[in-house]
Amino acid sequence: MLEILWALGAFIITLGILVTFHEFGHFWVARRCGVKVLTFSVGFGKPLWQRQAADGTSYQIGMIPLGGYVRMLDARVDDVSPEEWPQSFNAQPVGKRMAIVAAGPIANFVLAIGVLWLMLVIGVPSVKPIIGKVAHQSVAAEAGVTAPAEVLAVNGKETRDWQEVNMALVSAIGDDKAELQIRDLADRHESSKRYQLDLSQWEFDEQQSTFGSLGIQPYQSEVTTEIGYVAPDSPAEQAGLQENDKIVGVDGTLNPDWSRIRERIAAAAGDTLVFDLVRNNEQLQIPVAIGEREFNGETIGFLGIETKVMPYPEEYRFTHQYGLLGGLWEGTTRTWDLMVLSVKMIGKLVTGDVSVRNLSGPVSIAEGAGTTASYGLVYFLGFLALISVNLGIINLLPLPILDGGHLVFFVIEWIRGKPVSERVQEISYRIGGALIFALMVVAIGNDITRLSL
């Protein structure tokens, strides 16, 4: 329950920031163009908070935190006196109206640059993209990729950490192939090689990372067989297992690694296993009655210990950190890369190269917001920038009811010298609304499907 509340709170904060900046873009440019703003609202529905400013603008927070709006004086819906006519939206030249409408998405891009700049100035702890294992009969294995190795680039784009590898491979979803530039760590003198991944049969599973679905597993520190923690009242404690005991055998199988020990325990629910241990340089044999617990509808064995993990190599760690100007340039570059990636993925959705199953709705966004917020500020800022860019790009789609649809009408008006008829606009808004609603149904359906897995 606490986890759900945390995700919900992070979602509301994320959406509140995104909507506020988006609507402020419209608001700020409208004011600069001399248009009177009647209402600036974050959220829809009945106001939870409202304040009337001296200039007549009403600022409010709505009950439903799923968007917002800026209501401007408009003679098409308001009674406008001759004195107020120059301040109405529809009285403005088409260029000013285009600027007002485009300002919302642009504000989202500016927000992304700002939060990425802050994130990079603070510094983002990262690890190099070191391949620890390659799954058998996977796409990567078929291409000849081996481990240990470092991924230097994907399709010619430098990859400094696993996030950059993931983003580069996301861009390749729907393509027939992808090129990895890899340096073999087993041979320090060998230069990097290029491997061609055959993606024609690649089925990307949105439940895991792109590189994971290709059979590439990041390097992980070795998990030892030395006990680091014994849970109170667990089968291990009741049998007398202690911290710093080293497991050297289970039921006659000597020197197993931790993964094999864990599998043996899981398969022995309700049975007794004999553990060979080394304690203070003494050999011991201790029988343990394995406990039982339910996991995903199955009964598995339970011991109640955690083993020690070897330290992660320092040479694989680094921090993405820049100065004030360097961070601004890098933040702008990353925002542009996200914009290009978003446009590319939308294009692949339209052509069918990417399945609509990859669409995410509010539940996935809430889950992502909660997860990144729990990791720390810098990770939440990265997530906020990603969603802000996506919101800006989506709003620029040439669909009536979105900012992009309004811009299309204004371009047509600029070319023809007169506005599109209200009847055509009304029909277009209905079609656009139906399309947006259908996409939301698909996205929410995908969220529900992911939750049930």
Burial of residue 344 (CB within 10 Å: 0-12, 13-18, 19+) is middle
185-194, 307-316, 390-399, 402-411: least confidently modelled range: 185-194
Query: For residues 64 and 44, is the Cβ–Cβ distance under 8 A?
Result: yes
Domains and CATH numbers, the chain: 2-33+92-123+373-452 (no CATH), 125-221+311-320 (2.30.42.10), 223-309 (2.30.42.10)
Closest CA to 117 of 262, 331, 425: 331
Residue 263 annotated to the active site? no
Task: Phi first, then psi: give them for residue 65, nearest 5 degrees.
Answer: -85, 50
16-25, 293-302, 305-314, 331-340: least confidently modelled range: 293-302
Residue 81 pLDDT level (bands cut at 50, 70, 90): confident
Mean residue pLDDT of the chain comes to 87
Helix or strand (DSSP H, E) at 119: helix 94-122
**Which residues, in sequence order, are CB contacts of 277 under 8 Å at separation 6+?**
241, 245, 246, 247, 248, 283, 284, 285, 286
Query: For residues 43 and 66, is the Cβ–Cβ distance under 8 A?
Result: yes
Q: How far is CA 323 from CA 320, 327, 378, in A?
A: 11, 6, 15
Residue 230 pLDDT level (bands cut at 50, 70, 90): very high
d(CA 444, CA 276): 51
pLDDT, average across residues 51-72: 89
List, for residues 152-197, the tens digit of each pLDDT value: 999 999 999 998 998 898 888 888 899 999 998 877 666 789 999 9
30-34, 356-360, 433-437: least confidently modelled range: 356-360
pLDDT, average across residues 90-100: 93
pTM of the shown model: 0.81
Closest CA to 136 of 206, 200, 216: 216
List, for residues 268-309, the tens digit of each pLDDT value: 999 999 999 999 999 999 999 999 988 877 899 999 999 999
List, for residues 406-452, the tens digit of each pLDDT value: 999 999 989 988 888 888 888 888 887 788 777 777 666 766 665 55
Looking at 23, 164, 330, 367, which residue is catalytic? 23
d(CA 408, CA 90): 16
Q: Which amino acid is at 150?
A: E
Task: Phi first, then psi: give them for residue 56, nearest 5 degrees.
Answer: 95, -5
Cβ-based neighbour number of residue 352 at 10 Å: 9
Residue 143 pLDDT level (bands cut at 50, 70, 90): very high
Query: For residues 268 and 261, is the Cβ–Cβ distance under 8 A?
Result: no
pLDDT of residue 296: 75
pLDDT of residue 431: 83
What's the chain's Rg over C-alpha atoms?
28
